[in-house]
Amino acid sequence: MKSFKNFSIIILVLSLLVCCIFCPVTTQAAGLYSKYSVLIDSDSGRILSGSNETTAVSMASTTKIMTLIIALENCDKNFVVTTSAYAASMPDVQLNAVTGEQFIINDLYYSLMLESHNDSAVIIAENAAYYLLCKNPSLRSETPFINNYNYDSSFLSEINHEQSEILVHIFTGLMNEKADDILLSDTYYITPNGLDAEDNYSFHHTTAYDLAKTMAYCINNEDFLYITQTVSKTISDTTGRYHYQLNNKNRLLNPNEGIISGKTGFTNKAGYCYVCAYKDKNRTLCIALLACGWPPNKNYKWSDANYLIALGKKYNKQKYFNCEYTFYIPVSKGKYSFCELIPDSAVEFLACDDDSVNIQIDIPETLTAPVNSAQIYGTINIYVNNEPARSINLKAKQSIPKKSHTLDIFDTIFR
């Protein structure tokens, strides 16, 4: 029987074969106007190109992608919402809703995303918070000013600014919880519209990397995609008397050419900002640009986005270690002398000719029976440009029981 001490040689050969395919050159984010930028593989979250991508800065109306996804996930799309005096007081850009005016919340989603109306963001936040309070009595300790929880939002026309801010705080709390859930590392929401703000904890901020990861999460929601892909729409209040024409400000939007979603933003502090998603049959990319120029340079974000999309198209899906890969391990005290370890899954991720891909295989020299097919006995670790990319578990192809006592005696007699 051949010795399995040559496993290290096999592993080395595998690594060298993979490395021969790729040239170890690190891609740099160059030629961009944006101070903070990132291009990521949406499926894995891997950074393909970045510049100051983990620096916390203001994000302006790119905030609204999180506002929309929280509302979509927590509120009935046919809920009738009411405009408060606080919401009506928001600065431009505005829908110009007046206190007491009512809408179907789903219509306001288009106002939020196509025209980026700041008043609509607050209407959505207050009313979605109220809807959640109607469903969850345990959350009502902060809102003694609400006399009914029967899904009638008309009382919002009579509350004061401080009471409105309590409802907004409940909603932004959901935004921050979602940030934790999707593993954003340095994002904090204070406003639902992205207007600059500070509190005793921090300031309203994100990073380019976190913003791109947020978009990667949002595009998994079909309603989010449908709304953000709408080119134009006319909405009205619930009386039908007042109509509002909305036009999408995402100049690059073109699902047929790959740009499937996006959101712009601007404040004096944040500068011009943009986040978008690109998808074709080979890849899904998310791009975030923060502080991408100030007036009059509002078009910098489009050129930067196109630059990064072109860069992303150099990456293609690479597939590694399907179930055809087998590693043979000696088994002691087992019914069979050897065990086949196989990957429990194949992995795919984006790589380009400039990437250096290395593989490290961690398997034991021997196994002792019993061997359980459900148990993990090794791992395959894939590194791209010396950074951990993916890991695959190795499991036994079949369970191997211990040798019976009779076989042990037989082996002893005839050894």
The predicted model gives 179-187 an average pLDDT of: 98
The predicted model gives 127-133 an average pLDDT of: 98
Catalytic residue among 42, 49, 58, 64: 64
Query: Which DSSP category does 258 fall into?
Result: T
Domain ranges of the chain: 7-22+319-413, 36-312
Asked which of 37-46, 88-97, 380-389 is least confident by mean pLDDT, the reply is 380-389
Closest CA to 21 of 404, 405, 365, 357: 357
pLDDT of residue 346: 79
Residue type, 5: K
Q: How far apart are CA 146 and CA 388, in angstroms?
A: 51
Q: How far apart are CA 310 and CA 288, in angstroms?
A: 14
pLDDT band at 403 (very low <50, low <70, confident <90, very high): confident
pLDDT of residue 283: 96
Asked which of 25-29, 344-348, 403-407 is least confident by mean pLDDT, the reply is 25-29
Helix axes 118-135, 64-74, angle to 10 degrees: 30
CA dihedral 317, 323, 327, 328 (to 10 degrees): -170
Residue 24 has pLDDT above 50, yes or no: no
Q: How far apart are CA 410 and CA 87, in angstroms?
A: 86
Q: What is the pTM of this model?
A: 0.85
Fold of the domain built from segment(s) 7-22+319-413: Peptidoglycan synthesis regulatory factor (PBP3), Domain 2 (2.60.410)
User: Is the peptide bond preceding residue 330 cis, with omega within 30 degrees of 0?
Assistant: no
Residue 13 has pLDDT above 70, yes or no: no
pLDDT band at 8 (very low <50, low <70, confident <90, very high): very low
Catalytic residue among 116, 120, 153, 164: 116
Closest CA to 117 of 138, 99, 96, 142: 96
pLDDT band at 290 (very low <50, low <70, confident <90, very high): very high
Residue 309 has pLDDT above 70, yes or no: yes
Residue 25 has pLDDT above 60, yes or no: no
8 Å CB contact between 83 and 101: yes
Asked which of 130-139, 229-238, 398-407 is least confident by mean pLDDT, the reply is 398-407
The predicted model gives 325-333 an average pLDDT of: 89
* Contacts of residue 294, Cβ cutoff 8 Å, sequence gap at least 6: 268, 271, 272
Is residue 61 part of the annotated active site? The answer reads yes
8 Å CB contact between 234 and 244: yes
pLDDT band at 7 (very low <50, low <70, confident <90, very high): very low
3-state secondary structure of 343: strand
Pair of tokens at residue 197? 């703000």
pLDDT of residue 30: 59
CATH number of 36-312: 3.40.710.10
The predicted model gives 72-96 an average pLDDT of: 98
Residue type, 86: Y
pLDDT band at 405 (very low <50, low <70, confident <90, very high): low
Pick 13 or 194 by higher pLDDT. Answer: 194
pLDDT of residue 11: 36
Residue 172 has pLDDT above 50, yes or no: yes
The predicted model gives 103-113 an average pLDDT of: 98
What mean pLDDT value characterizes the chain? 90
pLDDT of residue 323: 59
Beta strand residue intervals within 68-218, DSSP E: 80-82, 102-104
Catalytic residue among 34, 37, 49, 61: 61
pLDDT of residue 317: 87
pLDDT band at 376 (very low <50, low <70, confident <90, very high): very high
pLDDT of residue 401: 94
Residue ranges at the known binding site for substrate = 263
Q: How far apart are CA 146 and CA 126, in angstroms?
A: 12
Task: Report the 10 Å Cβ neighbour count for 264.
Answer: 24
* Domain pair 7-22+319-413 / 36-312, same fold: no
Is residue 335 part of the annotated active site? The answer reads no
* Contacts of residue 304, Cβ cutoff 8 Å, sequence gap at least 6: 32, 33, 34, 37, 274, 289, 292
pLDDT of residue 12: 33
The predicted model gives 183-198 an average pLDDT of: 98
